[in-house]
Structure 1
Amino acid sequence: MTAVDPQIQVQELRRQLQSLLDAAKANERKLDRFDALERRLVAVGSMEELVNLLLVECRADFNLDAAELWLLDPDGELRRALPSLPMTKAPLLLEGHGPLKDVFGAVRTTRLVGPGNHEAVLAKAFGDGTPVRSAALLPLIRQGLLIGSLHFGSRDAERYDAGSGTKFLDRLSAIAAIAIESMLNRERLRRAGMTDGLTGVHNRRYFDHRSLIEFSQAVRHRYPLACLFLDIDHFKAINDRHGHPAGDEVLRQVGGLIQRSLRTGDLAARYGGEEFVVLLPRTDHAGAREVAERIRLMVQDAPFVTPEGGTLSATLSAGLAMLPAGAASFAELLNAADRALYEAKRAGRNRTVSGDAEVNTAAS
């Protein structure tokens, strides 16, 4: 039996001890980074700050090559809210659980995936062409419900080894889910204060605030600003003939048609009663007229479903005005659109009338 040199044994023990110390220091640094991230997640004050922290700052702080955030949004609530937020990178909004099932299967726990049989999962999690060879896929769960997922990707095939522990990632997943739910609830409360409860479009209070901002921007940067006043024709007769619940359904469905006709950055609001107002920044007369006509024709052709399951028809009139050069206040634009709407009503309804009389479009 060959005797082992004691000096060699000591060197090996020192090497093993140093390896353990290095691993402990690495884990301590990792814990410090995760702890700092968790503190920042708990302290975020807005949805855009939260998304930027998870997708931009995390990527830099943890030396990641890719980061993705998926959020379930079956009712389009986030889709309506997030486009107006100034975010460097936006989350992917999912209409259903299908993409999450493709990534997690039936197991809702953190997955560490790398080369081998997981290329298809990586492609789904980050998109084809993304240079990711290993990834941590974190499910976001609140109150037992899967609300989305957070994906961290690396070009290093060994960065996220399937045999590694996921304790830090599991904790991060739980904290991120709490922060996201908190921000979503805060966003819902914020939007409730500026949204018309019946139609889902913005309310008069929000419009009065936002219109002053749009007016100031249009004057400062000298871009066109169009305003539409829209009024449902003979709305009192709809209420009298079909009942107020049917009238409410018409209002709700007209609000939805208006929203679907607009671009990101356009503004629609219920101004009062059966009147809606629309602001179209950076839109010339021809573009504004096209929007007004699209809305008018959609309403004209729509079968409005009543609470009893029947249908009824409705039309609307539109007044169009462009912000005049040298305007001293937004009220000038609003009053011009209101006068144009009155002319549309006086001329027979179901038509678009331009405030400058350049184009009057009668019902077809």
Structure 2
Amino acid sequence: MSSPPTDPQAQVQELRRQLQSLLEAATANERKLDRFDALERRLMAVGSMEELVHLLLIDCCADFGLDAAELWLLDPEEELRRALPALPMVKAPRLLDHHGPLKDLFGAARSTRLVGPADAPLLAKAFGEGTPVRSAALLPLIRQGLLIGSLHFGAHDPERYDAASGTKFLDRLAAIAAIAIESMLNRERLRRAGMTDGLTGVHNRRYFDHRSLIEFSQAVRHRYPLACLFLDIDHFKAINDGHGHPTGDEVLRQVGGLIQRSLRTGDLAARYGGEEFVVLLPRTDLAGACEVAERIRLMVQDAPFVTPEGGTVNATLSAGLAMLPAGATSFAELLNAADRALYDAKRAGRNRTVADSLGAAQAADS
């Protein structure tokens, strides 16, 4: 360590240099504080999950000169999986089924970690194998004492995040981000509660009545095919009477899940009433609609439905299919045609798909 200069003039120059260095550090910290403050304000004002994810993963990289950013969110109930697929995201978060990956990063400490080249295995976990990131800040996202995810900022510069540096700004950012994420999740829950059937998790009749008019209008305007399926669980009263209403509810819940898993993004499924479901398939021709209906029917036929007591019960369903008639002036025409086809399927012996004859003939002619 060098001795301080003894010459008075040299001492003055050294003091000026130290003062200048302190001023520059203070100015840099002030700029950093301003950027963090602006980011926090934007986080608290976001209006959608899409905007929130874009802010954390795209805008943060630009604003803070980062080379990489990752967002992990715990999603054991698949709430985010249902909310995010339709969003046009440049970069999506990683959704976790369990806490395992988060425990690998934070252990029991659950505090911000600054890691460098010596922690290459940890960097690989946070950013993927072969990552060029050489230093990173790993921020745990905690709400009400629960770890709900993590936010990772990475840099190619191995000294960008020094383990000896303070984490005050990063800790505050993590707290604000966790609040914003929880707020978006709660907003999504409220939104879904207003348009989702509480038992089966598919859309409810109210949402279907609204969305179906939009799909009908689009199909008529752009002249693309629109298929409608009516699906009804066969002998559902016998399931309730023979096994109890809790078992009937489980069958309904599981059938709703099978229907949802059989559809594409953009298709619409809803519980229409009782044991009846309705499905809209935009831009789907007769052959494609028949394929979807049969896929759902066979999945239900082959599924062992688990009862609340741990046993199993079998079920089948009947499907009525209709295509939007040429020259249709209301959505009710399509809905009524699918309902007629469902009645024909029931009358013909159940556990089958029947297409409305008028709609099928028009589809074949077009």
Deviation, 1:114, is 1.7
* Structure 2: gaps spanning 5 or more residues: 362-366
User: Aligned partners of 2:130 and 2:226: how far apart in 1?
Assistant: 40
Q: Deviations over 1:259-281 (max 9, x none)?
A: 12222222211011111011223
Of 33, 49, 55, the residue aligned with 2:51 is 49
User: Aligned partners of 2:102 and 2:330: how far apart in 1?
Assistant: 50
Deviation, 1:349, is 0.9
Deviation, 1:203, is 0.5
Q: Which 10-residue stretch deviates more, 188-197 or 42-51?
A: 42-51
Amino acid at match of 2:213: L
The 5-angstrom pairing of residues 262-273 of structure 1 reads: 262-273=263-274
Deviation, 1:325, is 4.2
Q: Which 10-residue stretch deviates more, 120-129 or 164-173?
A: 120-129
Cα 1:201–1:21 change in 2 (3 A) is same
User: Aligned partners of 2:284 and 2:71: how far apart in 1?
Assistant: 33
Residue matched to 1:5:
7
Q: TM-score, normalised by structure 2?
A: 0.92
Percent identical across equivalent pairs?
87
State whether structure 2 residue 316 is matched by structure 1 residue 315: yes
Residue matched to 1:91:
93
Amino acid at match of 1:217: Q
Amino acid at match of 2:98: G
Residue matched to 2:106:
104
Amino acid at match of 2:322: A
Deviation, 1:108, is 0.7
Residue matched to 1:58:
60
Deviation, 1:94, is 0.2
Amino acid at match of 1:251: L
User: Aligned partners of 1:12 and 1:264: how far apart in 2?
Assistant: 67
> 1:83 is paired with a residue of what secondary structure?
coil
CA RMSD, Structure 1 to Structure 2 (Å)? 2.1
Residue matched to 1:81:
83
User: Aligned partners of 2:106 and 2:216: how far apart in 1?
Assistant: 48
The 5-angstrom pairing of residues 1-364 of structure 1 reads: 4-116=6-118, 118-356=119-357, 358=360
Q: Deviations over 1:215-254 (max 9, x none)?
A: 3333444443322110011212222222322222211111
User: Aligned partners of 2:4 and 2:309: how far apart in 1?
Assistant: 95
User: Aligned partners of 1:303 and 1:290: how far apart in 2?
Assistant: 22
Q: Which 10-residue stretch deviates more, 90-99 or 317-326?
A: 317-326
User: Aligned partners of 1:2 and 1:223: how far apart in 2?
Assistant: 83
Aligned partners of 2:201 and 2:256 also within 8 Å: yes
User: Aligned partners of 1:119 and 1:222: how far apart in 2?
Assistant: 56
Q: Which 10-residue stretch deviates more, 319-328 or 141-150?
A: 319-328
User: Aligned partners of 1:26 and 1:179: how far apart in 2?
Assistant: 27
Q: Which 10-residue stretch deviates more, 137-146 or 240-249?
A: 240-249
* Structure 1: gaps spanning 5 or more residues: 360-364
Cα 1:33–1:316 change in 2 (3 A) is same
> 1:173 is paired with a residue of what secondary structure?
helix
Aligned partners of 2:5 and 2:11 also within 8 Å: no
Cα 1:128–1:169 change in 2 (3 A) is same
Q: Deviations over 1:8-64 (max 9, x none)?
A: 222222111111111101100110111111111112222222122111222221122
